[in-house]
Amino acid sequence: MDACNQPAPVITLRGVSKWYGDFQVLRDLDLDVYQGERVILCGPSGSGKSTTIRLLNRLEEHEKGEIVVNGITLDGELRNIERIRADVGMVFQHFNLFPHLTVLENCTLAPMRVKGLDEGEAARRAMQFLERVRIAQLADKYPGQLSGGQKQRVAIARALCMQPRIMLFDEPTSALDPEMVKEVLDTMVELARDGMTMICVTHEMGFAREVGDRVVFMDGGSIVESDTPERFFSAPRSGRAQAFLGQILG
């Protein structure tokens, strides 16, 4: 595709840097993500992957550079933050479900409070997405009654109830027992096949190969290389990526 026909990215980071005190966790990141693209962020622990996606809906603030999501510049303007959060769903490592609410109530809360849906419409939408992730039968259960895999699928359904244009996943399987990982990854594969724009921090390299359009390898707060899964896994260009894959793939 030539430059004249290149669509505008739905996410742009330009020269983005962040510090925790004197420690620089992100260093001049440049990244574009396009509609329907599935981008995998990988790299060693502490490389800045989770911080990067947390910047995209202002769970963390960047000190330098520019972030644009769906044409909206992410700055300190509350209105812009709210508009972006309405379009960007996020699934966390540790579920972040409300323990005192049922599965259905967890899924209806934000659509009612943020989108202004009435209770009936919010419940219909919630059941639609709970059905999609194959746990509609658990709608009246509480999080404490669910397995880890079921909780994470509720978290995915809850995010989908806001009808986001972009989904962010921050190591969604790392807190799960091995036998529960597949059920969550299968749900994410289905989302990818439906054309959802996704950015996923994960160490599940099989998932990255199957679903990713692009693998972005980070180390030391920088993007070291970015390539298709085929090229990244078969012929990583940097020594740091080669060492990482040697460790994680054995």
Model confidence over 172-208: pLDDT tens digits? 998 888 888 988 999 999 999 899 999 999 999 999 9
Question: Domain extents for the chain?
Answer: 9-96+166-249
For the beta carbon of residue 90, count every other beta carbon within 10 angstroms: 22
d(CA 32, CA 92): 22
Largest CA distance in the chain: 55
> Token pair for residue 1?
């595709």
- State percent of the chain over pLDDT 70: 98
Which class is domain 9-96+166-249?
alpha beta
With bands split at pLDDT 50, 70 and 90, how would you rate the model's confidence at 1?
A: very low
> Token pair for residue 19?
């510090």
Task: Please give the average per-residue pLDDT across 222-237, as a whole number.
Answer: 97
d(CA 43, CA 223): 9
β-strand 222-227 against 11-20: which pairing, if any?
Answer: unpaired
> Token pair for residue 203?
């160490």
pLDDT of residue 76: 77
With bands split at pLDDT 50, 70 and 90, how would you rate the model's confidence at 6?
A: low
pLDDT tens-digit series, residues 41-64: 999 999 999 999 999 999 999 999
Task: Please give the average per-residue pLDDT across 112-125, as a whole number.
Answer: 95
Residue 66 C-alpha from the chain's centroid: 19
Amino acid at 122: A
Residue for token pair 């996704």: 198
For helices 103-113 and 148-160, angle between their N-to-C axes, nearest 10 degrees: 20
Instruction: Read off the pTM.
Output: 0.92
